[in-house]
C-alpha cells in the first residue's frame, strides 16, 4: 500500500490548495491537522489524513471545487454532517495512492418546496431536522423524523446511505431524482440532471437555478420518477419471505444518488414528503417470551387493515443503560426540542477539540461532565414504563394512527388474554417519552464507553436485517464471545426486523477480531448487514454492490475504499505482501 500524497508532489498539492482558496475563500479551506480533525474523524468510527477540507458556499463553488480536484487527480470525499457510524464519510487511514480532499457541504442548506410541499428539492447541507421544521406548519413530514435528526444528520446522508428509520410504511430513503457530478471512464467530470426539472444546458446555469429554486411549473416533470420507495409498505407485509425487508445491498434500492455511498458528487435530490399523522396512539407492550412478540409482529403485518406508523423494540438491558447514560439527551430534547440540538452537539465537539489541545483535562471530559450533571435531573421516565422494565425483558412500542387504534386495541386485548405479557395504552405524554427513551438508547453505548474508559476497550456496533420469516430473532451468543462483552444493547425497528446491536467490549480485547467472529453467526441465520447504514470502511460489500460502485465511479476517485474495496485509481487491485 502506498502512503497518502506519494502520488502528488508537495508543490502540486500547494497549488491545488491555492486554487481551492481562490474558489471558496481562504477561510473555507482548512489544512492544519487540528482544524481538519473534526472532518477527518468519524462520528463513531474512522479517521485518516487529508490534504485539505474545502467548504463551498454555493453549488457553483462546489462544481468548481470538483473540477479542480478531478483535474489535479486527487481523491474526493463528499461529506455532509459526518454523523455516520461506519466511517463512510471520512478518510480511512493514510493508505491511499493519491491525496485526499474532503468536500464538506454543510454551508449549502437550502430546501425548496414544490407541489405545495408534496415534494422537496434539498441541497447538500439540508438537515433532517431543518426539513422536519419546514414541513411541520403545512402538516407534512420528511421520510425520517427524530432519531438521527437529533444530531443534525443531513438529508443527503440518508439518501446516499440507504438510511431506513423507524417509520414502517416508508422504507429506506430513496429517490430516482437527483442532480449530480460524475467522473467518466475517460476521467472527465460531467454534470447529470435527473431531477426531472428543466434547468438549462450550461452546468453553472443549472446549478445556479437549482440553488435559487427557480422552478417554474412548466419546468417540472411530475412523472420523472419515484421520490420514495413506494413498494415498501407491501414488501414488508410478506412475513413468510426468506429475505430481509430492507438492507444496504438490495440492488432494487440502489439508483444513482440513492445508495451511492459518496461515489457521486451530489448537488440536489428531489424527495416525496408525507402527510403528518394527527393524534397517533402508542401502545406499550412487555413480555418475557420472544415468540410472543414475533406473533404480534406477524399478525400486525399480515392482518391489520392499516400498517402502524412505527414499532420499536427495546431490550431490558438497553432500557437500563439508556435510562442512566441517555438521560441528559432525553431531558435536553424534552426541554428544547430537536431544533437546537445540532448546535449543542457542535458546541460539545468544539469543546472536546479544545480540551484535547489543552491536554490536562481527562479524555471525553464533556461526556463525563454531562453524565455527572445528569445525576441531578429528576426521574424522567413514566412509572408504568419502569414497572414494565421490572416485569418484562422485552419491550415493544407500537405507534398507530387514530384510525387504526381500535383495531390495535382489540387485537392486543385478545392476544394478551391468552399469551404471556401485557400492554397498556399510553397517554400522549407517556407515548412521547417512550419513543424518546428508545432513541436515547442509540447513543447510550457511546456515553458508557466514554465514561468508563478504564474498563472498556470500545464498541462493536452491528446493524442487522433479519429474514422476514425468522422466528428466532433474538440473538444468543456463544459463551466465548459473551465473556468478552460488558453489556449488550439490543434495540431496533421490530416490524421491519431491523436490529441495532451494540456491544461494549471489556478492556484488552480486540473489537475487530470479535466482530469478525460474530458475523459468521449472522450469516448462518440468513441475516444481512448493514441493514440501513452504509458499508463504510467496516463492512465488506458484496460483488454486485461493488460492481454498482464501479459503474458510478469508474476511476475510483470518489470515496475509494468503501465496502473494503481497493482504494487505488481505476479500481486496480491491491498488491499482496
Q: Which residues pair with 315 in a beta bridge?
A: 394
Tell how strand 281-287 and strand 394-400 pair up. antiparallel
Q: Give the range of the structural domain holding residue 352, as residue numbers without chain letter.
A: 281-453
Residue 509: inside a domain: no
The beta strands (E) that lie in 224-376 are given as 265-272, 274-275, 281-287, 310-315
**Confidence (pLDDT) at 146:** 57
The three-class DSSP label of residue 237 is coil
8 A C-beta contact, residue 152 and residue 127? yes
pTM: 0.89
**391: closest CA among 287, 293, 307?**
287
81 among the known binding-site residues?
Answer: yes
Rounded to 5 degrees, φ, ψ at 402 are -60, -35
Last residue of a domain, one of 275, 297, 312: 275
Q: Within this chain, do residues 89 and 125 fall inside the same structural domain, yes or no?
A: no
82 among the known binding-site residues?
Answer: yes
* Integer Cα distance of 357 and 35 in angstroms: 11
DSSP secondary structure code for residue 219 in this structure: G
Residue 15: inside a domain: yes
148 among the known binding-site residues?
Answer: no
**Confidence (pLDDT) at 577:** 45
164 among the known binding-site residues?
Answer: yes
8 A C-beta contact, residue 249 and residue 542? yes
8 A C-beta contact, residue 282 and residue 399? yes
For 172: left if phi > 0, alpha if psi spans -120 to 50, otherwise beta; the answer is beta
Q: Within this chain, do residues 257 and 130 fall inside the same structural domain, yes or no?
A: yes
The three-class DSSP label of residue 183 is strand
* Integer Cα distance of 52 and 431 in angstroms: 46
DSSP secondary structure code for residue 420 in this structure: S
- The greatest distance separating any two alpha carbons of the chain, rounded to the nearest whole angstrom, comes to 76
Q: Within this chain, do residues 152 and 20 fall inside the same structural domain, yes or no?
A: no
259 among the known binding-site residues?
Answer: no
149 among the known binding-site residues?
Answer: no
Q: Within this chain, do residues 209 and 69 fall inside the same structural domain, yes or no?
A: no
Q: Within this chain, do residues 149 and 234 fall inside the same structural domain, yes or no?
A: yes
Break the chain down into helix, strand, coil percent, rounded to 5: 40, 20, 40
Q: Within this chain, do residues 191 and 301 fall inside the same structural domain, yes or no?
A: no
The pLDDT tens digits for 466-485 are 999 999 999 999 999 999 99
14 among the known binding-site residues?
Answer: no
Residue 338: inside a domain: yes
pLDDT lower than 70: segments of the chain: 1-9, 146-152, 338-342, 356, 574-577
The pLDDT tens digits for 352-383 are 777 767 777 778 888 898 899 999 999 999 99
8 A C-beta contact, residue 531 and residue 253? no
Domain count, the chain: 3
Q: Within this chain, do residues 80 and 116 fall inside the same structural domain, yes or no?
A: no
Q: How many CB atoms lie within 10 A of CB 546?
A: 18
42 among the known binding-site residues?
Answer: no
154 among the known binding-site residues?
Answer: yes
Give DSSP secondary structure letters for 332-355. HHHHH-STTHHHHHHHHHHHHHHH
Q: Within this chain, do residues 185 and 306 fall inside the same structural domain, yes or no?
A: no
| Cell numbers for 186 | 475517460
469 among the known binding-site residues?
Answer: no
**343: closest CA among 334, 353, 351?**
351
Q: Within this chain, do residues 378 and 406 fall inside the same structural domain, yes or no?
A: yes
H helix intervals, 467-575: 479-482, 511-524, 543-552
Amino acid at each position: 500500500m502506498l502512503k497518502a500524497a506519494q502520488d502528488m508532489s508537495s508543490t502540486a498539492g500547494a497549488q491545488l490548495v491555492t486554487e481551492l482558496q481562490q474558489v471558496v475563500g481562504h477561510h473555507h479551506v482548512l489544512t492544519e491537522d487540528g482544524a481538519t480533525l473534526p472532518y477527518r474523524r468519524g462520528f463513531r468510527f474512522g479517521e485518516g489524513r487529508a490534504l485539505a477540507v474545502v467548504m463551498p458556499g454555493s453549488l457553483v463553488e462546489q462544481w468548481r471545487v470538483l473540477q479542480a480536484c478531478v483535474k489535479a487527480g486527487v481523491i474526493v470525499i463528499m461529506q455532509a454532517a459526518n454523523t455516520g457510524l461506519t466511517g463512510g464519510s471520512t478518510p480511512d487511514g493514510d493508505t491511499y495512492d493519491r491525496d485526499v480532499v474532503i468536500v464538506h457541504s454543510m454551508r449549502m442548506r437550502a430546501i425548496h418546496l414544490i407541489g405545495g410541499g408534496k415534494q422537496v428539492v434539498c441541497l447538500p447541507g439540508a438537515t433532517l431536522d431543518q426539513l422536519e421544521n419546514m414541513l411541520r406548519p403545512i402538516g407534512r413530514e420528511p421520510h425520517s423524523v427524530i432519531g438521527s435528526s437529533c444530531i443534525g444528520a443531513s438529508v443527503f446522508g440518508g439518501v446516499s446511505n440507504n438510511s431506513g428509520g423507524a417509520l414502517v410504511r416508508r422504507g429506506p430513503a430513496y429517490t430516482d431524482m437527483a442532480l449530480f457530478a460524475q467522473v467518466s471512464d475517460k476521467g472527465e467530470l460531467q454534470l447529470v440532471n435527473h431531477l426531472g426539472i428543466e434547468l438549462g444546458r450550461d452546468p453553472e446555469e443549472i446549478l445556479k437555478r437549482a440553488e435559487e429554486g427557480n422552478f417554474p411549473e412548466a419546468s417540472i416533470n411530475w412523472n420523472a420518477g419515484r421520490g420514495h420507495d413506494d413498494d415498501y409498505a407491501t414488501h414488508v407485509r410478506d412475513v413468510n419471505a426468506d429475505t430481509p425487508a430492507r438492507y444496504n445491498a438490495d440492488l432494487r434500492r440502489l439508483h444513482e444518488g440513492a445508495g451511492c455511498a459518496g461515489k457521486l458528487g451530489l448537488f440536489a435530490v428531489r424527495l416525496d414528503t408525507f402527510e403528518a399523522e394527527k393524534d397517533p396512539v402508542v401502545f406499550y407492550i412487555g413480555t418475557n417470551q420472544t415468540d410472543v412478540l414475533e406473533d404480534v409482529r406477524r399478525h400486525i403485518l399480515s392482518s391489520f387493515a392499516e400498517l402502524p406508523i412505527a414499532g420499536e423494540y427495546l431490550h431490558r438491558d438497553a432500557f437500563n443503560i439508556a435510562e442512566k447514560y441517555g438521560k441528559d439527551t432525553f431531558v435536553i430534547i424534552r426541554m428544547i426540542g430537536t431544533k437546537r440540538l445540532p448546535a449543542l452537539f457542535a458546541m460539545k465537539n468544539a469543546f472536546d477539540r479544545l480540551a484535547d489541545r489543552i491536554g490536562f483535562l481527562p479524555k471525553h471530559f464533556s461526556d463525563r461532565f454531562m453524565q455527572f450533571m445528569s445525576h441531578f435531573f429528576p426521574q424522567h421516565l413514566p412509572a408504568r414504563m419502569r414497572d414494565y422494565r421490572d416485569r418484562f425483558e422485552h419491550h415493544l412500542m407500537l405507534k398507530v394512527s387514530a384510525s387504526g387504534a381500535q383495531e390495535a386495541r382489540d387485537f392486543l386485548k385478545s392476544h394478551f388474554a391468552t399469551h404471556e405479557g401485557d400492554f397498556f395504552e399510553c397517554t400522549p405524554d407517556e407515548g412521547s417519552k417512550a419513543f424518546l427513551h428508545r432513541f436515547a438508547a442509540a447513543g447510550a453505548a457511546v456515553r458508557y464507553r466514554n465514561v468508563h474508559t478504564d474498563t472498556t476497550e470500545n464498541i462493536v456496533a452491528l446493524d442487522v436485517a433479519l429474514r422476514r420469516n425468522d422466528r428466532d430473532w433474538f440473538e444468543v451468543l456463544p459463551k466465548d464471545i459473551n465473556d468478552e462483552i460488558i453489556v449488550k444493547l439490543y434495540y431496533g425497528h421490530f416490524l421491519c426486523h431491523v436490529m441495532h446491536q451494540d456491544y461494549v467490549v471489556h478492556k484488552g480485547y480486540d473489537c475487530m477480531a470479535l466482530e469478525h467472529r460474530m458475523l459468521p453467526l449472522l450469516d448462518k441465520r440468513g441475516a444481512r448487514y448493514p441493514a440501513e447504514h452504509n458499508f463504510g470502511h467496516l463492512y465488506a460489500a458484496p460483488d454486485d454492490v461493488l460492481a454498482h460502485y464501479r459503474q458510478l465511479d469508474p476511476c475510483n476517485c470518489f470515496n475509494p475504499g468503501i465496502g473494503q474495496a481497493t482504494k487505488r485509481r481505476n479500481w486496480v487491485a491491491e498488491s499482496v505482501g
